[in-house]
Structure 1
Amino acid sequence: MLRGLDIRDLLIIDRLELEFQPGLNVLTGETGAGKSILLDSLGFVLGWRGRADLVRAGAEQGEVTAVFDLADGHPARAVLDEAGIPAEDELVLRRINRADGRKTAWVNDRRVSGDVLRALSDTLVELHGQQDDRGLLNPRVHRQLLDEFGALGPQVGATRAAWRDLSRATKALDQARADLTAAQAEEDFLRHAVAELDALAPAPGEDAELDSRRRLMQAAERIGEDITKAHQALSSGEGAEARMGDALRWLEAVADQAGEALDPPISALGRALAELGDAVQGVEAALDTLSFNPHELEVVEERLFAIRAMARKHQVAPDDLGGFAEDLRARLDALDAGVDAIAGLEKDVAKALTHYNSAAALLTQARVTAAKALDKAMSGELAPLKMERAVFTTEITPMDAGPDGCDQVTFTVATNPGAPSGPLNRIASGGELSRFLLALKVCLTREADGLTMIFDEIDRGVGGATADAVGRRLAALSLGGQVLVVTHSPQVAALGDHHWQVQKTVSQGMTLTNVTPLDAPARVDEVARMISGDTITDAGRAAAQELLDG
């Protein structure tokens, strides 16, 4: 509920502090007194897009502060939570418009964007007038309004869930088909590459092993001759081993005669012969290693070059060829299994489509039932508004499937029997349109949920008993909530719970707008002015008092 509105230096307002109340609040005043300025100011602090030149002439900036009461569970609390603003029982919106056009806004002293203000305004205030393109006259929201009227949230939720399942299944099928098409385009390559790799069968580490073996065989021819010479020098009849053996035998033969003098050289020769034997064995082993069939080098080089050529072909390291082959085989397996997978996904899509069609059909059926109920309710509301001959119809026509079903909902009217029906804003005249909108709002509003409803001259073009009927509908709409009405109708004004008079005054050459709450006597005078004009007569006061007494 809107509790307070503080306006400073906007248009022709220097300072206004308004305290609104629950129930039906009426604002009256002469044409041009500035009633629309109040709505402009409220729209400004709520982030609505409107006129840019709001700052009062001579002022550096204009400012509007609006204070709302928030009940527990109010929808605005969810918006505050999403914006990271602590929610309290009191919500304070403040917005400044500087003379250079810059705008700054705060919510509970937290600086916010215009988007946050507009998101909050959707939960706080609803404006209706004869050009109500933000609400009831907008065909794009008629389906939503019908769903709210019929309490079709569960059916809409089920349809949206089914649509999400269908969308996911369709996306998975489309992706599988695209993958299969791409795989089929490279099927020949995959099968040929796997066959080549399987035939080659490279092992991890084989490239390094072959390269080492090749280098050794290439070097064997160069070093083999020297190793053979070394072997001959060590082990032949004239080699070191034979000569050292002769020396050892000669020394041992005379060792007894020399005493202990030959023991050390004999011991050293024994050790040297043992080491020499090891050296000979090592050289022989090296000769065995270097011994190879000349054809073997060709075989090793052919294998090594084949592995490296395959690695270059597929742009992978030689040791990664095995893993690469596994990846190709996996893609082939996926290709072979693709047709079966797609068949399964097609079944999933068909199942999801059946489920969606069922949910959408139930939603359509529920909407048809709700539409009949709304048409009946509208018929009951139009009669007291002196439009008993008008026909309101909620049309439901097929449209492309979507998350909210397959129904296009349009509110149409025929103002006279036999006349063709059409959209509200094209068929009804100004006064008729006002009453249609009011009747719709009465039917569609079950619970205000803390929403402040504003009606801007919605009674324009009607008078007498019809204006009285409009006022009584507004009063009924305000029960348990808050309705603000800008009106020129004395019948509507007389039914208000609270009354403000908007006046334009000139002081020291400056035109200003003032808003004054009216007590009972002042209210009689204001309603009398609305009845009789500038000159208030006793008859006018009497008529005003009669209206106020009900």
Structure 2
Amino acid sequence: MLRHLTLRDFVIVDRLELEFSAGFGTLTGETGAGKSILIDALALALGERGDAGVVRAGCDKAEIAATFEVAAVPEVAAWLDENGLDVGDELLLRRVVDANGRSRAWINGSSATVQQLREVGEWLVDIHGQHAHQSLLRADAQRQLLDGHAGLGDLAREVGGAWKAWRDAEQAWRSASEGAAALLREREQLEWQVGELAALAFTADEWAELDLEHRRLGHAASLIEGAQYALAVLAEDDAACERQIDRVATRLAGLADYDPALAEVAGLLGSVQAELSDAVSTLRRYADRADLDPSRLAEVEARMDAVMTQARKHRVPPVELPALLAGWQARLAELSAAADLEGLQARVDALRSAYLEVAGRLSAGRRQAADEMGARVSEIMRQLALSSGRFEVALLPVDGGAVYGLEQVEFRIGGLAGNEARPLAKVASGGELSRISLAIQVLTSRSASVPTLIFDEVDVGIGGGVAEIVGRLLRELGRERQVLCVTHLAQVAAQADWQWQVSKAGRDGVVLSAIKALDDDGRVQEIARMLGGVEITDITLQHARELLRLDA
């Protein structure tokens, strides 16, 4: 759950450090004091889009840091490990937005992307905005709520993947059918080109070998002549080096008897004799092997000419011919598969069957969840003074299916304007829609796995006894999760386990927002203000104590 939240230079907050508790908490204050700023800051830390407008006027940057206790959420540890981030019992999310609108993010001190903040945030917090009832009118939002409540999210994504695979295969079959003549011409051209280049049987390594052999064969006469000249000078002429060095070494060895200093020189000449003897032996072996081979030279030149002809023809360097051939062969394999219309049709049929199978399982799950969700939302609606209303989840068949399954989801209400159930948008007034939305949110939040739930003025449009029931519902929810509600209703705030007050004041010519944790006396004053407006009387104070169930 959320443990700490730090804001610095965010909108009209200069610096704020908050420590959160478990249970149900409320955030109250006068209109315009900035109650929703806290929610906006937390949403930014969780990966929502941010721009330069969140930076407090005159400041270089805005900074938000949120710390969560995640020991009870194993999915977070698995996600952190998968993304190569530090894993622990606490998770620190940090977001900085500068005055130019550039944004940076960190997770447990490591640089991260906004997308990563958003991904891990889905395991941590569920925020219900004050305009949630507006999105509730959209078909896709209704479908996602049902699937989320029923735990069908993974299955719905599987259906989407199966749908895409089926449609992609169908498009491949259609393209192959419509362009069969063009594909045939391309295939015939490629077959001829592949056959010609494959017959060359050329590899990239061969070119370097051919070039080396061609240079050797082309200069064979010079090589033989050079080797023979070297042998004559070193060993075969009367004045050959080998004989001269031998004479010098023998004479110096004899003189060393008279002066030992010459022994070192004689020893060095002995080493030279050994090296020279090895060189002469190597040259003799080379000369024995070296030979003029005009026929082999012609073969090499013919091979190089054949390779160069193909390289010029296809406008590539010789060493790139094998890669060109591999590309053509791959394309030819694609065309061969595309030409197999029967095989493509069989693939389409198989993928359609796979889609219908997984979509059928999703439909079965939705049918079961629809009845259960309808009954439970209707029960909560009765608590919210909508006793005549009946909530239903209709599943409308979609001919041929769709990416989201075999049916569309439609929320309907019966009993508010006649017994017949009709689409939500056509029968509910603004106030009724707000209460229905709250009933759905309370139910779906109970079934969600996130540890922290935030309700941002979702109680707009209700009051009196209904507001008290809303507070009780949120308090019950707070026994299972950490719940924070931004509210303007005293009856809701009085049900909270803890309460914060948001205020706005001028300081050095600048308007700043602040948040203060309220004790029992502070809560009495704040609840009385919410009940009685500007002038707080003894009666409103007494009423506040009664709501808070405090002794007078």
Give the secondary structure class of the aligned counterpart of 2:47. coil
Match of 1:370 in 2: 369
Match of 1:360 in 2: 359
Match of 2:475 in 1: 475
Match of 2:266 in 1: none
Name structure 2 gaps, 5 residues minimum: 202-305, 315-328
Match of 1:57 in 2: 57
Instruction: After the TM superposition, list the runs of 4 or more consecutive aligned residues in structure 1 that deviate by more than 6 angstroms.
Output: 186-191, 337-340, 419-422
Opposite residue 507 of structure 1, the aligned amino acid is R
Give yes or no for contact 1:71–1:450 (8 Å, CA) kept in 2.
no
In structure 2, relative to structure 1, the CA distance for the partners of 1:438 and 1:51 (3 Å cut) is farther
Opposite residue 142 of structure 1, the aligned amino acid is Q
CA distances 1:144-173 after superposition (whole Å, capped 9, x unpaired): 321232344686477467547745764775
Comparing 82-91 and 498-507, the one that deviates more: 82-91
CA distances 1:14-56 after superposition (whole Å, capped 9, x unpaired): 2111111121110111111111222222223223225632222
**Residue 545 (structure 1) shift:** 1.4
Comparing 346-355 and 123-132, the one that deviates more: 346-355
In structure 2, relative to structure 1, the CA distance for the partners of 1:4 and 1:73 (3 Å cut) is closer
- Find the aligned partners of 2:100 and 2:343 in 1 and give their Cα distance: 64
CA distances 1:444-470 after superposition (whole Å, capped 9, x unpaired): 234442342211111122111110111
Match of 2:392 in 1: 393
Give yes or no for contact 1:166–1:352 (8 Å, CA) kept in 2.
yes
Name structure 1 gaps, 5 residues minimum: 205-307, 317-329
Give yes or no for contact 1:500–1:518 (8 Å, CA) kept in 2.
yes
CA distances 1:410-464 after superposition (whole Å, capped 9, x unpaired): 3244672328866656754443232112210222234442342211111122111
In structure 2, relative to structure 1, the CA distance for the partners of 1:51 and 1:533 (3 Å cut) is farther
**Residue 502 (structure 1) shift:** 0.9
Match of 2:349 in 1: 350
Match of 1:112 in 2: 112
TM-score normalized by the length of structure 2: 0.66
**Residue 482 (structure 1) shift:** 1.2
In structure 2, relative to structure 1, the CA distance for the partners of 1:358 and 1:56 (3 Å cut) is closer
- Find the aligned partners of 2:357 and 2:3 in 1 and give their Cα distance: 47
1:406-417 aligned within 5 A: 406-413=406-413, 416-417=416-417
In structure 2, relative to structure 1, the CA distance for the partners of 1:342 and 1:2 (3 Å cut) is same
Give me the identity figure in percent: 40
Opposite residue 113 of structure 2, the aligned amino acid is S
1:263-302 aligned within 5 A: none
In structure 2, relative to structure 1, the CA distance for the partners of 1:114 and 1:344 (3 Å cut) is closer
- Find the aligned partners of 1:407 and 1:453 in 2 and give their Cα distance: 30
Supply the RMSD in Å over aligned alpha carbons: 4.3
TM-score normalized by the length of structure 1: 0.66
Comparing 500-509 and 339-348, the one that deviates more: 339-348
- Bigger Rg over Cα: 1
Matched, 1:24 2:30: no
In structure 2, relative to structure 1, the CA distance for the partners of 1:348 and 1:413 (3 Å cut) is same
CA distances 1:276-323 after superposition (whole Å, capped 9, x unpaired): xxxxxxxxxxxxxxxxxxxxxxxxxxxxxxxx9xx99xx89xxxxxxx
Opposite residue 504 of structure 1, the aligned amino acid is K
1:4-23 aligned within 5 A: 4-23=4-23
- Find the aligned partners of 2:549 and 2:26 in 1 and give their Cα distance: 16
**Residue 405 (structure 1) shift:** 1.8
Match of 1:149 in 2: 149
In structure 2, relative to structure 1, the CA distance for the partners of 1:134 and 1:448 (3 Å cut) is farther
In structure 2, relative to structure 1, the CA distance for the partners of 1:72 and 1:483 (3 Å cut) is closer
Opposite residue 525 of structure 1, the aligned amino acid is Q
Opposite residue 378 of structure 1, the aligned amino acid is V
- Find the aligned partners of 1:188 and 1:535 in 2 and give their Cα distance: 92
In structure 2, relative to structure 1, the CA distance for the partners of 1:547 and 1:382 (3 Å cut) is same
Give yes or no for contact 1:68–1:91 (8 Å, CA) kept in 2.
yes
- Find the aligned partners of 1:154 and 1:506 in 2 and give their Cα distance: 50
Opposite residue 46 of structure 2, the aligned amino acid is L
Opposite residue 516 of structure 1, the aligned amino acid is K
In structure 2, relative to structure 1, the CA distance for the partners of 1:517 and 1:426 (3 Å cut) is farther
- Find the aligned partners of 1:514 and 1:421 in 2 and give their Cα distance: 47
Match of 2:438 in 1: 438
- Find the aligned partners of 2:186 and 2:63 in 1 and give their Cα distance: 68
- Find the aligned partners of 2:411 and 2:379 in 1 and give their Cα distance: 16
In structure 2, relative to structure 1, the CA distance for the partners of 1:185 and 1:441 (3 Å cut) is same
Give the secondary structure class of the aligned counterpart of 2:132. coil
